[in-house]
Amino acid sequence: MKFKVVLASSSPRRRDLLAQFNIPFEIIKPEFDEIREKSETPLAYARRNAKQKGEWVHQYLEYQPQHKSVSETTLIISADTIVVLGDLVLEKPKDVSEARSMLQLISGRDHQVFTGVHLIFQHKTIGHKAVTFHTVTDVTIKKLGDFEIERYIATGEPFDKAGGYAAQGQGSYFIKEIRGSYANVVGLPICELTEILEEHFQISLWDLI
């Protein structure tokens, strides 16, 4: 069975996580505003964003005739990662001030990283199936001094990262402990993804290569 794999994300981290398995895939960036509803829990927010990203890309492909003949089987992978401190959701900082505030908040404290993932499996004869799941990882950050925070911000690394840091980048030096999936902190929980593929779609990760 030939698969067309689509990553519904422009995240370089998710791209790199998939690419390390030599999986051929296409990237399509969803276009919609991610706004948390007032009564929405952080986990529900991450799951909803992941689902909406996948559905947006699925609808986009449905209206692109050139895509329909590429493969009779399409797997769309979408995800949304947020950093959570109590009930506070820390997404990507918009500027230096916001990055500084986020790093001061997580300094010397535990926080959680939530990733919602939505998978859409479309087959010409089998039909359509979708599953949403999530993974939670606990992270402990060492106490950061003002000088450290300013130097880290100066690297430019915080600005496209949830919570204002990159576990796979220079931000790794202030992570004291990770309890749970490291890949989840990076942006895509690969282990859990493979388990869901096998359980719900009877697909191995190696089937996608």
Domains (range + CATH), the chain: 3-208 (3.90.950.10)
Amino acid code (one letter) for 50: A
Q: What is the mean pLDDT of residues 97-123?
A: 95
Between 86 and 99, residue with greater pLDDT? 99
Distance, CA of 21 to chain centre? 17
Task: Report the residue count for the chain.
Answer: 209
Residues labelled catalytic: 80
Query: What is the rounded average pLDDT of the residues 179-198?
Result: 96
Whether the pLDDT of residue 116 is over 80: the answer is: yes
pLDDT at residue 69 is higher than 80? no
| Residue bearing tokens 């939530």 | 114
pLDDT band at 126 (very low <50, low <70, confident <90, very high): low
Kindly state the average pLDDT of the residues 78-106: 95
**What pLDDT, on a 0 to 100 scale, did the predictor assign at position 32?**
84
Checking if the pLDDT of 33 tops 60, the result is yes
Q: Are strands 73-85 and 3-7 parallel, antiparallel or unpaired?
A: parallel
Supply the pTM of this predicted model.
0.91
